[in-house]
Structure 1
Amino acid sequence: MDKLLYDRLGSSAGITQIVNEVVQAHMNNPAINARFLPLKEQPEHLASITKHTIEFFSAGSGGPETYSGKDMVTAHTGMNISRGEFTHVIDDVLQVLENNNIDEESKKDVLAILWSLKSMVISQ
């Protein structure tokens, strides 16, 4: 593929839509929603997490955006995220990509990026 992953995900608008749908998927997923539902009562914090996630996906997929959030270890320290929870997060992301008609190669690229973060997120 000649196009950047950023472009294949729909650039800024597409990534924003995907991230917003992923956040909603996490809130609806009974295996992990206990971590996300409390954010509904903290709209500023939810907006900040969403903004940083959009920046992270955008910058990490080749876009011009700059990530302004914490590094992955710092962001997840103290959360004690399990392997199962991490897998549910990935499953939600892949389902949202499927729902948005993202091609298989792009889904594999996103999966590779997410999998590369595993040791920085799990059990921190």
Structure 2
Amino acid sequence: MDMNLRIRRQLQEAVRAQGLTRAQLAKLLGVKPPAVSQLLNGTYGKIPQSLIDVLEVLGLELTVTKARGAASPSEVQAKADAMALLSTHPWGKKPKGLDEPVEVAGPAFEELLKEHRGPEL
């Protein structure tokens, strides 16, 4: 069997085993669903022939296996959602005046800490 086809079938099975739809996988990858379909169906993203040639000469083959310690799709999605929240401003609005550093008057932060630190031991 053609190595590209075999790898794609293994990927399709892995997607099914994870209980994901192609749309969910696309969201996790940050691409549109047609890109996932093209990848899994073989109309896009073939393994380079030079790599296949080297593997064949060496008597090797690629196999798709579950990585040890790999995050589940829900963990990947949760991390992506958290990073998206961290990269935006609260309530979707950018506070005014934060494009440039603001000069602050008053004692240095270290001086304030001395006053509120408590007794020295």
TM range (shorter): under 0.3
Q: Which has the larger radius of gyration?
A: 2
Of Structure 1 and Structure 2, which has the larger fraction of its residues in helix? 1
Scaled by the length of structure 1, the TM-score of the pair is 0.25
Scaled by the length of structure 2, the TM-score of the pair is 0.25
